[in-house]
Structure 1
Amino acid sequence: MNEITTLYENKPSVVMQTLEKLGWVKFFNPAIKGQVSFLPRGTVVFNLMSDFLKSWVKTKLSSLEIRTPILYDFLNPSIYSESSQFKDRSFQTEVYEKTAVLRPGGDYGVMSLLSSKIIHESHLPISLFELALSFRKNQSRELAGILRANVFTLLDQHTFAANIEQAWEVYASALASQVKLGELFNFDIEVSFDIESTFYQQNKSSIKKLEQLINKEVVINEIKEISNYWIAQHYLIDKRDNIGFCDGQYDLFNAKNYNISFTSLDGKTTLYPIICHASFGSIERWIFKLVNTSISSNGYTFPIWLSPVQIRLLCAKPIQTSYLEKIITHAFKNGIRLEIDNRDKSLRDKINAAQAEWVPFIVILSENFYDLESNVTVIYLNNQQEERSLLSIFEKVENSRVNDYLLPDLQSVISRPCLR
C-alpha cells in the first residue's frame, strides 16, 4: 500500500505540527519515541472517534465487543507461530521468568479467547471486536507521528464462519461496511487485493460479487506463494492522499493454529472455522487523516460532530447572567460542546484564538441578545459571517451528528449464544 513515507517523527509533518498547535497532542521526554500524549481536547476527539467506530461495527456487522489482555507468553506455540509474522516488530520483555510479548493487534486476544471453546455450527457466524491497545516496533525512520506509531489503538474485528459460502458472505459484508465508512467521510476510495493465485482462480466469482456489492473496481495482485496466515488480504486507501484507512484478511490458518473448532450440525464432525478479519484502522490514524484533509481549509472541512469545542461564545457587551444560563442549559441538554470566552482580551484576539483552535461556530453576542431566537453574528472558519438565531446554530450542530448512520438493524439486536 502506497502511503506517505516522508512523515518522520524526527522531522515533524505539517499534520503533527497542526495537532500540537491545536493543543490536541504532545510529545515529551522521557517517553520513548513512537508514542504520543493526547491532551484534554485531543482526548475528546479520540473518544468521539472511538465511540463512533465501535457503534459502527456493532450496528453494521452485528459484532460483539470484548476486552482481552495485552501481554502474552511468547513461547506459547500458537502465539509463537503467529508472532513469526511480525518478526523484529514485536516488543518483548521478561515476566515471571517467561518471555512475554505485547500484542501487535487484536488477534492474540480473540483467538486465545475462543481456543478450546465448545462451539456448535448453529452458533456461527459469530463476530467479535475489540478496541485494542497495540504495540509494533517500527524503525525510527518509519515513524510518522500518530499515522505510524509504536503504540496505537486498533479497532480489530473477527468473524468466525462455518464454511466458504458463509465466509464470503461475512467477508463481503465487512468490506462493504468499510467502503460505506469511507464514503461517509467523502474519501476517494481504491480497493486492492493481495491474493494467492490458486485461491483467486477458484474464487473469481466471489470476487466479482464483491465488486458488484461495493460498486467499485478491485485491483488484484496475485501472489504465487503466501507466507502469512491469510490467503487473501484487502486494503482501502483514499486516493486523495494515498493513506490507507481499513483492511482485512481471509484467514484459513489461525483457527487450527489456536485450536479453534466447532461441532457440525449433526454432531459427528469437528471442523475448523474460516476467520474473516476486518481492521477498521487505528483511532490515531483516523484523526491524522481527517486533520490532514482539513488543513487547507483551516479546519472548515473538519467534521463538526468531532470538534472538541463546537461553539465559542464571545460577548461584545456584558450579557445578563440569566441569558447565558439559558444558553448553557440548552447546550448541555442537547449534548452541544460550548465554551464562553470571558478573557480580558479584544474581540479580534478572541476570534483569532477560536479560529486557530478550529472552533466551527464563533458566535458574537450583542447587547440586544435576550433569548435563543435572538439574532447573533456567527463567524465561520472560512472567514464568512452572517446573522442568524442562536437556536438555528444549535440545530446546525445537532444536524451534523452521525447518529442516523448508527441505527441498529434487526440482525444486530437478535439474541445470540453467550460465550463462556
Structure 2
Amino acid sequence: MRVLLLHCDYIEFEAQKKAVKQPEEITEKGGRLEDCIVCFMAVEKPDEKDPDFVVDELVTVVDKMAAQVKAGNIVVYPYAHLSSDLGSLSVARKVLDDSYEKISSKYNALKAPFGWYKSFELKCKGHPLSELSRTIVPGDGGKDEGGESQALAKEDKIDSHWHIMTPDGVLHDIEGFEYKGCENLKKFAAYEKAKSRAVEKAPPHIELMRRLELVDYEPASDPGNFRYYPKGRMIKALLEQYVTEKILDYGGVEVETPLMYDFEHPTLKKYLDRFPARQYVLESDEKRYFMRFAACFGQFLMAHDATLSYRSLPLRLYELARYAFRREKSGELTGLRRLRAFTMPDVHALCTDLVQAMKEYKRRFRLSVETLEGVGLERDDVELAVRVTRGFYDSNREFVTELVKDFGKPALIEMWDERVFYFILKYEFNFVDALDKASALSTDQIDVENGERYDIKFADKDGSLKNPIILHCSPSGAIERVIYALLEKAHMMKESGGTPVLPMWLCPTQIRVIPLSEKFIDYAVQLADRFEKERIRVDVDDRNESMGKKIRQAEREWIPYIIVVGEKEMESGKVSVRVRGEKEQNTVVAEVVAVEVKEKSKNMPYRKIPLSRLLSERPTFTG
C-alpha cells in the first residue's frame, strides 16, 4: 500500500462521475472536514496477500501522526494515482472500508467515495510534520500462493457430526459402529475424520501409469499437471466419450464455456468465497482473472441470460470441462489422485423447487452408480458419503435413507448444525486406494444459493419469476481420478493373488498377434486385419526378439489376448490363444476370440489403436 498523509487546514471534495463499472453507492456527492489529517491511499497487488495486515499497519501509521500533530479529524481518501501496481477493486474496496471502520472508531472520520472521479481542494498546514509518505508491505503472515476462498478457510474449522447409516435406515454413532465386512468403509471414515491430505508415500498407480506408458509428470509445467502418452490419451478419450454419452442419454444439453473469469465480476466474486477451492490467478490488460475450478461459472452465467419457464425445467446443462484448475497444496499432490489440472464432466440441473430437485437427485444418483459400473468400478469398489445439514436431514430423513438403501451398503454420514457452503445435501462415491487414502469420484449437490446469486429466473405457472434450485453433478468425477482408481484397483487385485487387468474396452491393445518367425509376419498382419474389421484393437509384434521376450512384454503391458501364429496355425486356420488371468492355452478359430473381446467390451465406445500396429515402428515414451 502507498500512503500519503497531509495535515490540512481543510479538505473539500465532490464526486463527479463513475471511474469504475460498479463504484460505491453514494447518497451525498461531497464532503468537507477542517483541521484534519487527509490519508490518501492506494491498495497494491501485494496487499492482496494479507489485507488485514495492511489495514492494521495503516491504522498504526495514522495513530502515530495524529498523536504527533494532535489531530482528531481524519479523512480516508482512495487515490489510485499513488501506485502503478494497483490491487483488485474488491480488495481495495475492502481495505478502504475496513480502514475507515477502525479509524472512525477512534476519530471523527470522513471517507471519500470509492470508484468515482472527484474534484478536491485542500490547504496543507506546511509545518515540518504536515507531510508524510509511507509504503506498507504485507508480512509473512499472508495466505498461501494463489487465490483462496473464505469457504476453504471455513472448511478446516467446520464442526462435523459423524455417523454411519445402514441400508435399513438406522443412524449409528460412528464411535460405536462395528465395521464387520466393511473394512474399506472403516478406512474411509478414519481418513475423513482425520482431514489430513498430506502424502507420505507414492501410491502404486504412479509407477503403473508410467510403466504402462499412459501418463507422466511434465517437468516444464506446474506440479499437478500431466502429459498423456498415446495409450493414456486413448483411455482418457474413451472415458470422456462414455461419460458424455451417458449424460446426453439422461437429457444433458451440452455447452462450452471459457476457462478464465474476471475476479471483479460481482456475482463470481461472491461465489468464489462460497466454493472451497484455491485458484490459479493470471493477469491480462491490467485485470486479474482466475482459472475456473468447475464449469459452474459459465453455465450459470449462460442460464442467467436465457429465457426460462417452468416447462424448461429441469434444464440439464452439461460441459466436459477440459480443463478445470484447483491449486492444491504442493504437499497434497499425488499422481492422478490429487492434481491441479483435471477433466470434469459437469452437469447442472435447474429445478423449479425442492420437490422437483429431490426427484431429479434420485435419478442422477442412479446415473452415477451406472456410470461408475460402466467404467469398471462396482459398488464394492466405492464407499458412499452423504454430507447434509441437520435442518435438511430432520425434514427429509426418509429421502436420505432411500439413497443409502439404493446403494445397498452402509454409508458415512457427515452432518452440520449450520450450512457453511451453498448446498444443503451432497453425496459422493469414494474410492479407497492401496494406501488407505480416499478420493471422491461421483458427486451431486443440492444448491440453494446460486439461483438467486446469479439472478437466474424462470417464469412459473402463475407467471411469477422465481429462482431455481440447482443440482451440481459429476456422474464419474474427474476423468483422471477414474484412471487412478482403475490402476489402484488392478494393483490391489495383484496384491490379493489375482491378475491385474483393465476393463476390456479401455485396453490400448486388446489382442496381440505374435508370429513365430519373420516368415509368418504377413499372415499375422492378415489376421490382424480381420480383427480390426470387427472394431477390435490389435497389434503385431514383428520385432526380432525371442518368443519368450515377446510374451513377457505382452504380459507386462496387460494385453488381454495373446495369439501366437506359425506353420500349424496358418494351415489349420485356428490360433493358439493365451487369455490374461487364465492358466490354460486354447486353440480356437479367430472368430471365437473376436466374439469374446466384443462381449467383454459390452458395446462401449471404441477408438482405433493409438499407435502403429507394428511394434517395430513404435517409439518408447517411458517405462
Do both share a fold (TM > 0.5)?
Answer: yes
Partner of residue 533 from structure 2, selected from 317, 330, 333: 333
Bigger shift: 347-356 or 232-241?
232-241
Seen in structure 2, the aligned counterparts of structure 1 residues 276 and 87 have a Cα distance that, compared at 3 Å, is: closer
CA distance in 2, matches of 1:251, 1:177: 19
Seen in structure 2, the aligned counterparts of structure 1 residues 11 and 27 have a Cα distance that, compared at 3 Å, is: farther
Given the alignment of the two structures, is residue 314 of structure 1 paired with residue 503 of structure 2, yes or no? no
Counterpart of 1:67 in structure 2 is 256
Given the alignment of the two structures, is residue 232 of structure 1 paired with residue 425 of structure 2, yes or no? yes
Seen in structure 2, the aligned counterparts of structure 1 residues 86 and 201 have a Cα distance that, compared at 3 Å, is: closer
Give the C-alpha shift of residue 372 in structure 1: 9.5
Q: Which runs of 5+ in 2 are unaligned?
A: 1-187, 607-623
Counterpart of 2:357 in structure 1 is 167
Aligned partner of residue 160 in structure 1, secondary structure: strand
TM-score, normalising length from structure 1?
0.88
Give the C-alpha shift of residue 125 in structure 1: 0.8
Counterpart of 1:79 in structure 2 is 268
What is the 5 A alignment of 1:65-214?
65-86=254-275, 89-132=278-321, 133-184=323-374, 185-188=377-380, 189-214=382-407
Aligned partner of residue 80 in structure 1, secondary structure: helix
Given the alignment of the two structures, is residue 57 of structure 1 paired with residue 247 of structure 2, yes or no? yes
Aligned partner of residue 305 in structure 2, secondary structure: coil
Given the alignment of the two structures, is residue 344 of structure 1 paired with residue 544 of structure 2, yes or no? yes
Give the C-alpha shift of residue 62 in structure 1: 1.6
Give the C-alpha shift of residue 225 in structure 1: 1.0
CA distance in 2, matches of 1:263, 1:247: 29
Seen in structure 2, the aligned counterparts of structure 1 residues 89 and 237 have a Cα distance that, compared at 3 Å, is: same
Counterpart of 2:133 in structure 1 is none
Given the alignment of the two structures, is residue 394 of structure 1 paired with residue 594 of structure 2, yes or no? yes
Counterpart of 1:294 in structure 2 is 490
Counterpart of 2:472 in structure 1 is 277
Q: Is the 8 A contact 1:235 1:246 kept in 2?
A: yes
Counterpart of 1:264 in structure 2 is 460
CA distance in 1, matches of 2:566, 2:196: 49
Q: Is the 8 A contact 1:35 1:150 kept in 2?
A: yes
Q: Is the 8 A contact 1:318 1:367 kept in 2?
A: no
Seen in structure 2, the aligned counterparts of structure 1 residues 34 and 239 have a Cα distance that, compared at 3 Å, is: closer
CA distance in 2, matches of 1:68, 1:402: 33
Counterpart of 1:375 in structure 2 is 575
Bigger shift: 25-34 or 367-376?
367-376
Letter matched to residue 247 of structure 2:
V
Bigger shift: 319-328 or 198-207?
319-328
Counterpart of 1:13 in structure 2 is 203
Give the C-alpha shift of residue 31 in structure 1: 1.4
Q: Is the 8 A contact 1:74 1:80 kept in 2?
A: yes
Counterpart of 1:221 in structure 2 is 414
The sequence identity of aligned pairs, in percent, is 25
Q: Is the 8 A contact 2:425 2:445 kept in 1?
A: yes
CA distance in 1, matches of 2:491, 2:482: 14
Q: Is the 8 A contact 2:304 2:454 kept in 1?
A: yes
Give the C-alpha shift of residue 323 in structure 1: 3.7
Alpha-carbon RMSD across the aligned residues, in angstroms, is 2.6
Q: Is the 8 A contact 1:300 1:382 kept in 2?
A: no
Letter matched to residue 378 of structure 2:
N
Aligned partner of residue 266 in structure 1, secondary structure: coil
Partner of residue 505 from structure 2, selected from 277, 282, 305: 305
Q: Is the 8 A contact 2:505 2:600 kept in 1?
A: yes
CA distance in 2, matches of 1:131, 1:405: 16
Q: Which runs of 5+ in 1 are unaligned?
A: 407-420
CA distance in 2, matches of 1:125, 1:377: 51
Q: Is the 8 A contact 1:378 1:387 kept in 2?
A: no
Partner of residue 244 from structure 1, selected from 427, 440, 451: 440
Aligned partner of residue 138 in structure 1, secondary structure: coil
Aligned partner of residue 346 in structure 2, secondary structure: strand
Q: Is the 8 A contact 2:422 2:448 kept in 1?
A: yes
Counterpart of 1:357 in structure 2 is 557
Letter matched to residue 302 of structure 1:
L
Letter matched to residue 278 of structure 1:
C
CA distance in 1, matches of 2:218, 2:325: 19
TM-score, normalising length from structure 2?
0.61
Letter matched to residue 233 of structure 1:
K
Bigger shift: 101-110 or 292-301?
292-301
- 1:193-228 CA-to-partner distances (Å, cap 9, x unmatched) read 111111211122322343444444544322111221
Aligned partner of residue 392 in structure 2, secondary structure: helix
Give the C-alpha shift of residue 181 in structure 1: 3.2
Aligned partner of residue 441 in structure 2, secondary structure: strand
Bigger shift: 232-241 or 197-206?
232-241
Q: Which has the larger radius of gyration?
A: 2
CA distance in 2, matches of 1:383, 1:220: 44
Give the C-alpha shift of residue 366 in structure 1: 1.9
Q: Is the 8 A contact 1:251 1:277 kept in 2?
A: yes
Give the C-alpha shift of residue 311 in structure 1: 0.9
CA distance in 2, matches of 1:90, 1:315: 53
Seen in structure 2, the aligned counterparts of structure 1 residues 149 and 260 have a Cα distance that, compared at 3 Å, is: same
Counterpart of 2:212 in structure 1 is 22
